[in-house]
């Protein structure tokens, strides 16, 4: 008969270096609030590991967490870090719940990876649909920052745009430009954009959905769109945690907060199961979370919604509510 240990050891890993990632504090807050709101927080022990948002950093973090004998891991926001960590977890039989790592290959190649956010191919389809809705038959150029996430999303976008004959070639200037990559590289691209593409609308992608971009985009006169994840107000089950966060911070949480909180909720729900049953239960059961009921199909969850974000003088960074819900 399975004997449950005194504590359930959970590994939590992301780019935790101060000022390393604009989303670091969101990750910490989501994990900490989920533990605080858990029915019995004393039966859970967290092991934090910095993965440097890199392949080698992810592998090192995973090796350290395996040594800690964690039973499950939540995290690795960067696809590169998740790619480095997953082979280590697979060998150890440890499930990894991904709140924000989007590369399609992470779940295709690993039966121990379960994704809360959406994959790059789904985001690419949404972006193409939105561009057609907003700009009609636009010629689109795609630029990436050479990160795994940037290349993955760029590749998916390029394939869809070629299929619809909307990919801009070198002989003609684009009507729209999409940049895929990290927040820091998105800001760098934004600053250099005017000279390269005067008057051309720019789309940034999910990592750029952060309040800091309001300041960074000041003076940017071209149309700026950010294709990312929907705000917490779009999820009925998140009403209570959104209110709690507002009461503590006087702001609403940034991108990936609800995805991370939901991952922790699933971790708590599965903690009483024997280790050898966790992978099968993650794949089979339906999990009640702040995002709604999550059921992993081929280790993917499709209940997360996408949104187009804009920056306005009246509301700052906000999701556009009047666009058709393509995804």
Q: Structural domain boundaries of the chain?
A: 8-118+234-305, 121-232+307-319
- Determine the Cα–Cα distance for residues 81 and 94; give it in Å rounded to an integer: 16
Look at residue 2 in the predicted model and tell me its pLDDT. Answer: 44
What CATH superfamily is the domain 8-118+234-305?
A: Response regulator (3.40.50.2300)
pLDDT at 326: 55
Determine contact, residues 304/117, Cβ cutoff 8 Å. Answer: yes
CA dist 30 and 246 (Å) reads 13
Cα 51 to Cα 23: distance, rounded to the nearest angstrom: 13
* Fold match between domain 8-118+234-305 and domain 121-232+307-319: yes
Q: What is the mean pLDDT of each run of 10 residues along the chain (327 residues)?
A: 68 91 90 88 88 97 97 95 98 97 93 96 95 88 92 95 88 88 92 84 93 89 92 94 94 92 96 88 95 96 93 86 62
Q: What is the pLDDT of residues 179-234, one digit of tens each?
A: 999 999 999 999 888 778 888 999 999 999 998 999 998 888 889 999 999 999 99
Check residue 324 and give its pLDDT.
Answer: 67
Q: What is the pLDDT of residue 222?
A: 87
For 121-232+307-319, which CATH superfamily applies? Response regulator (3.40.50.2300)
Report pLDDT for 41: 62
């Amino acid at each position: 008969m399975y004997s449950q240990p005194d504590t359930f050891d959970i590994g939590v890993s992301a780019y935790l270096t101060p000022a390393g990632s604009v989303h670091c504090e969101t990750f910490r807050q989501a994990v900490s609030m989920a533990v605080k709101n858990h029915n019995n927080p004393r039966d859970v022990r967290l092991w934090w590991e910095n993965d440097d948002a890199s392949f080698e950093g992810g592998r090192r973090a995973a090796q350290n967490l395996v040594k800690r004998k964690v039973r499950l891991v939540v995290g690795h926001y960067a696809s590169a870090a998740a790619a480095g960590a997953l082979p280590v977890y697979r060998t150890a039989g440890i499930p990894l719940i991904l709140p924000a790592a989007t590369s399609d290959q992470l779940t295709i190649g690993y039966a121990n990876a379960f994704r809360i956010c959406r994959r790059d191919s789904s985001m690419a389809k949404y972006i193409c649909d939105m561009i057609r809705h907003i700009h009609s038959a636009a010629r689109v150029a795609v630029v990436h920052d050479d990160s795994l996430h940037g290349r993955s999303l760029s590749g998916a976008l390029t394939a869809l745009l070629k299929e619809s004959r909307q990919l801009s070639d070198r002989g003609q200037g684009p009507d729209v430009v999409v940049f895929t990559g990290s927040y820091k590289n998105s800001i760098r691209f934004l600053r250099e954009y005017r000279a390269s593409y005067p008057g051309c609308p720019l789309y940034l992608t999910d990592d750029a959905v952060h309040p800091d971009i309001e300041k960074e985009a000041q003076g940017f006169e071209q149309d700026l769109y950010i294709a990312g994840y929907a705000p917490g107000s779009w999820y009925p089950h998140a009403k209570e945690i959104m209110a709690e966060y507002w009461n503590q911070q006087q702001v609403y949480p940034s991108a990936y907060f609800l995805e991370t909180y939901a991952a922790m909720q699933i971790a708590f729900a599965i903690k009483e199961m024997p280790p050898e049953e966790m992978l099968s239960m993650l794949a089979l059961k339906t999990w009640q979370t702040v995002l709604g009921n999550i059921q992993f199909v081929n280790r993917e969850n499709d209940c997360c919604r996408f949104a187009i974000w804009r920056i306005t003088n009246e509301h700052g960074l906000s999701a556009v509510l009047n666009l058709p819900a393509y995804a």
